[in-house]
Amino acid sequence: MLFSTQLLAQTTTSVTSNDNITKVLIKADTSNFYFLTPQKYAFFDANKKQLFELNAEYVSEFKNGLAKVKVAGKFGFINTQGKFVIPAKYSCVGDLSENLLVVGDSANQFNKIITIKDSVVGKFATPIKLAESFNGEGVDGGFVITTENVHAYAFSEGLINIENRFYNTTGSLAFTIPGTSGNCHNGMISFEVSVNGKEMFGYCDKTGKPLILPRFHEAHNFVNERAVVGIFEKQWKYFVIDKQGKILRYIGHTPKEKLL
């Protein structure tokens, strides 16, 4: 079947594409006006040829050939043929990265780390409790909640940041960073703390050791030993810095990361 205007007319939500796969929500449960639950999705390749259909409560965008799926209240992962590579059996899951993901057997908490082959490689000493996370689908031009316990926590350079606590691939707590922080990139982690009543950014290394004290108003990820930072003094000014925090050059009033 080709992707047609007739099929578009039957859909209840907008079309989304990623990883050369187009996802179309064909049918949704409209019994509850505020919390519509999808019932059937159709998937198409780059040539608009239908690949498969799937009954599910939620399907994420495809990333690296896999998509997160919720069926009967449980999460798993499918490949681009619509086949489950991880059965829908977990109550909450993170995102797949570096061939690993965090999962939970109970709602709103992670208790172990698995591979894409569903093999357990690590366990948390104490289950990590999470706030509920929601996902939305655009339906008839509106925005509705379709499912919960959809989380985006993912490994980066062998570490996963779960609410500013960094765990390694065995599930052991590696370190905690004060304030709020991002993921590890190029061996560096940005963090944000309050300094004299103002929110400022700095960086630490992948052991949690602070390397660049918080003195920037904006901080981007390190790439190739360099990062873009912003300082606001009546107007924004952006600079390139090295891993010692030394300003290498001024790049203007917009964060032109491509200049790295």
Instruction: Report residue 244 CA to chain centroid gap.
Output: 29
Indicate whether 141 pLDDT > 80.
no
Indicate whether 6 pLDDT > 70.
no
Q: pLDDT by residue (tens digit) across 26-74?
A: 888 777 766 677 889 999 988 889 999 999 999 988 888 899 999 999 9
pLDDT of residue 53: 95
Indicate whether 194 pLDDT > 90.
yes
List domains and CATH numbers for the chain. 5-160 (no CATH), 177-259 (2.40.10)
pLDDT of residue 3: 41
Under 8 Å between Cβ of 260 and 238: no
Q: How many CB atoms lie within 10 A of CB 217?
A: 17
pLDDT of residue 84: 97
Q: Mean pLDDT of all residues in the chain?
A: 87
pLDDT of residue 150: 84
More confident residue, 100 or 33: 100
pLDDT of residue 140: 56
Indicate whether 183 pLDDT > 90.
yes
pLDDT of residue 107: 87
Interatomic CA distance for residues 220 and 162, integer angstroms = 19
User: Contacts from 211-219 at CB under 8 Å and sequence distance 24+?
Assistant: 211/243, 211/244, 211/245, 212/241, 212/243, 212/244, 212/245, 213/245, 218/255, 219/190, 219/192
User: Rounded to the nearest 10 degrees, how much is the dihedral formed by the CA atoms of 118, 121, 123, 128?
Assistant: -60
Within 8 A by CB and 6+ apart from 93, the residues are 68, 75, 101, 102, 103, 104, 151
Q: pLDDT by residue (tens digit) across 71-87?
A: 999 999 999 999 999 99
What is the percent of the chain where pLDDT is above 90?
66
pLDDT of residue 11: 44
Q: What is the mean pLDDT of residues 117-140?
A: 85
pLDDT of residue 46: 86
Instruction: Report residue 18 CA to chain centroid gap.
Output: 14
